[in-house]
Amino acid sequence: MAKTLVVKQIGSPIRRPEIQRKTLIGLGLNKMHRVRELEDTPSVRGMINKIPHLVEIVEERG
């Protein structure tokens, strides 16, 4: 089984640069307090590292 991350959106994309909004959408998040389970890949980690003020890693599985 592949490793997964549970990611939660904790910040609003309002008044944020367009690239940060698109990164949130790329992670499958767009509304406050949404939670997604994503595969732990370097690309997903990079996206999370670009917007650490808007998302948090709730849990690492696998």
The third-level CATH classification (topology) of the domain covering 4-61 is Ribosomal Protein L30; Chain: A, (3.30.1390)
Confidence of residue 1 (pLDDT cuts 50, 70, 90): low
pLDDT at 26: 98
Q: How far apart are the first and last CA of the chain?
A: 7
Q: Closest Cα to residue 34, out of 11, 4, 2?
A: 11
Percentage of residues of the chain with pLDDT beyond 90:
95
Average pLDDT rounded to a whole number, residues 38-60: 98
Between CA 29 and CA 33, with CA 30 as vertex, the angle to 5 degrees is 75
**Residues 14-38 pLDDT 10s:** 999 999 999 999 999 999 999 999 9
Residue 7 predicted with pLDDT over 80: yes
Q: Which residues pair with 36 in a beta bridge?
A: 7
Tell me the chain's radius of gyration from C-alpha atoms.
11
